[in-house]
Structure 1
Amino acid sequence: MTKAIYRREHVIFLQVLKRMRVESGMTQAQCSAALGRPQSFMSDVERGVRRLDTVQLRDLCHVLGGDLISFTKTFEQALSPDNAPG
């Protein structure tokens, strides 16, 4: 099995995460600060350098004004074949 970071799903995960942050109106620095992390944290997450565990993802969703269930639904919708490039 291919490592997750090289899969289409991981790319889409990062796109959904970034879109959620941008739509919240927060900068990477503001988001990192709200999480009590250094400024580079969100940059590393969005570039795929740093991975999040489920608890961290939940915290991030809350900071961005959402929740884990909504994020997961959006992610799953983005993965649907109807949304595949091509």
Structure 2
Amino acid sequence: MQKTLRSPRHVRLVQLIIDERKASGLSQADLAKAISRYQSVVAAIESGGRRVDVVEFLDLAETIGFDPHEMLRKVAKISRTGSDN
């Protein structure tokens, strides 16, 4: 199995999280405070340098206000090589 960090699906997931955070009006600092993390953790996620585990993903969805199922559907449309299915 290939590494997932910075894979096409990981890149898509990160971009969707960033888009949703910005659309919600939250800054990285606001989000970090809401999930009891440092802003640098949010920055590391958004720069693609850190993976998001399932529980953390659900916390992000709840805090930012996006549907985790819909986001995963969008990510799943990206093949492991980067093309849309």
TM > 0.5 between the two?
A: yes
Shift of 1:73: 2.6
Q: Does the 8 Å contact 1:5/1:48 carry over to 2?
A: yes
How far apart, CA to CA, are the structure 1 residues paired with 2:43 and 2:49?
Answer: 8
Q: TM-score, normalised on structure 1?
A: 0.79
Paired position in structure 2 for 1:24: 24
- The share of aligned pairs that are identical, in percent, is 31
Paired position in structure 1 for 2:43: 43
Shift of 1:74: 3.3
Paired position in structure 2 for 1:64: 64
**TM-align CA RMSD:** 2.1
Stretches (4+) displaced over 3 A:
none
Q: Which has the higher contact order (CA 8 A, sep 6+)?
A: 2
Output the amino acid matched with 1:18. Answer: I
Q: Does the 8 Å contact 2:9/2:76 carry over to 1?
A: no
Q: Does the 8 Å contact 1:4/1:10 carry over to 2?
A: yes
Paired residues in the alignment total: 82
Q: TM-score, normalised on structure 2?
A: 0.80
